[in-house]
Amino acid sequence: MSALEPPGKVIALHLNYPSRIAQRGRKPAYPSYFVKPTSSVSASGDVIERPLGTELLAYEGEVALVIGRRTRRVTPEEGWAAVSGVTAANDWGVYDLRTADKGANLRNKGGDGFTPLGPRVIAAAAIDPTALRVRTWLNGRLVQEDTTADLVFPFGVLVADLSQLITLQPGDVILTGTPAGSSVAVPGDVVEVEVDAPSAPGAPSSGRLVTRVVEGTTPLPPYSAQPVVDDIQRIEAWGDAESAGITVPAKGSLSEQARDALRRCAVATVSAELRRRGYSHSSVDGVRPLAPGTKLVGTARTLRFVAHRPDLFESHGGGYNAQKRAFDSLKSGEVLVIEARGDASAGTVGDILALRAKTLGAAGIVSDGPARDAAAVAAIGIPAFVQGAHPSVLGRRHVPWEVDGTITCGGTTVQPGDVIVGDDDGVVVIPQHLVGEIAAAALEQERQDAWVSQRVAEGQPVDGLFPPTGTWRERYQAWSEVQP
């Protein structure tokens, strides 16, 4: 096959190659797709405009399947037989425009010229679908190379899955995902993609699909969503932080974006998102803020007390002990979390040490024991979540033992670098590797809950609305897609 007819529809897959999945840090259980308008299709040798005012136009070399016959409700074993050929594709996208798309990808991946295909089609009958190779060059330098041997969703599965609800017609195109190496191109760059079958007789090839990037000249009007970028988008577009010129925060740090999101979320919402991911014991039980209305977000430092024993208190309790060292070493944005074994009969923090934490810029204090000088601690203004108040000094029940170890506070494990979130409902602990995911999911849930609350205030019953299902879910999604 040499000619590629204009497709009736173009359907693109989000993730498929293990190398790309490793970059993204999430493995999909099922295929997920988006539709690209046929007006985005272009040919080899055409140009693509980077929209004026944007910076993150990214290429994605892919294998494109061309459907050869009307296909409806086939099995995975029958799926490949519905493919007449394969060719090269470049699934271009503008990360700056993803914010307004809400996953639909229409504007960021649907622009004119954003789906180059060709230049030749390899007959499907002549090749093994698991033995294809896709390669991409940026200005002559090889930047993507992978094979179809280990796809998460083989081609037959994709065709079968789509055919269950959508009739595929001859000429329809399915983009099958991109491997690692996708990155950003700038005006003046030339990107080439080739698909071939090196082990097949004659080593058939699509030839090189060539696209040149030019700068757009027409700005987006004010009634269109404007480009929005942040470091997360830059890292995803470029492929890694180093290529994007971004310094990744050290382990245990908390990005301003995640911190801001968590400040806008209720602890109850964060707790629910943790439970959905299997973290059912994430709350520090038994603690409450000394000052009602307090919000706490920060990264954990830890301090462990062991039960009082005279000889151990003599060797570890006096002088510049672990408690004083912990408070003296706090940095801006950190939360000191104290394991006191839930013992309510001796103070674990007082006003002097709370003042030291405040002056160092610490984000707060959490202890599953009580506070001493509780009113004074509250007046200092540092968020403090404790198990009430007690006048006794810690030496009555505790020995300050260890700084920055793994501890159990209020029944939950805390490690340095975990993120602590607190409000009037209590305190939860987010493992450091889940912070970005939890922050984004909790913020979206808060948005949905606010919309549901508006409907309930209008007099709507909660059946089917809380949480939104069916028609209510569709209404929420429609509302969400047009909101800033």
Two tokens, residue 230? 């942040």
Q: Please tell me the least confidently modeled range out of 17-21, 206-210, 407-411, 476-480.
A: 476-480
Q: Please list the residues that pair with 210 across neighbouring strands.
A: 192
* Residue 425 to residue 441: CA distance in whole angstroms: 19
- For residues 159 and 234, is the Cβ–Cβ distance under 8 A? no
| DSSP state, residue 71 | B
Helices (H) and strands (E) in the chain, counts: 14, 26
Question: Which of 8-22, 93-107, 339-353, 364-378 shows the lowest mean pLDDT across its residues?
Answer: 93-107
Q: What would the pLDDT profile of 71-82 be if each residue is shown by its tens digit?
A: 999 999 999 999
Segment 451-472 shows an average pLDDT of 91
Range name among 80-94, 143-157, 387-401, 466-480 with the lowest pLDDT average:
466-480
| Token output for 311 | 């000889």
What pTM was computed for the model? 0.57
Q: Does the pLDDT of residue 2 top 50, yes or no?
A: no
DSSP code of residue 411: T
Query: Residue 1's pLDDT is what?
Result: 42
* pLDDT confidence bin for 484, thresholds 50/70/90: low
pLDDT tens sequence across 27-71: 889 999 999 999 999 999 999 999 999 999 999 999 999 999 999
Q: How far is it, in rounded angstroms, from Cα 261 to Cα 103?
A: 19
Helix (H, G, I), strand (E, B) or coil at 5: coil
Q: Give the SS3 label for residue 121.
A: coil
For residue range 227-284, what is the model confidence (pLDDT) as tens digits? 988 777 788 889 887 888 876 555 446 888 899 999 999 999 999 999 999 999 999 9
Tell me the C-alpha distance between 12 and 20, whole Å: 15
In the chain, % of residues over pLDDT 70: 97
**Mean of per-residue pLDDT scores for the chain:** 92
Domains assigned to the chain: 10-244 (3.90.850.10), 256-436 (3.50.30.40)
pLDDT tens column, 387-398: 999 999 998 999
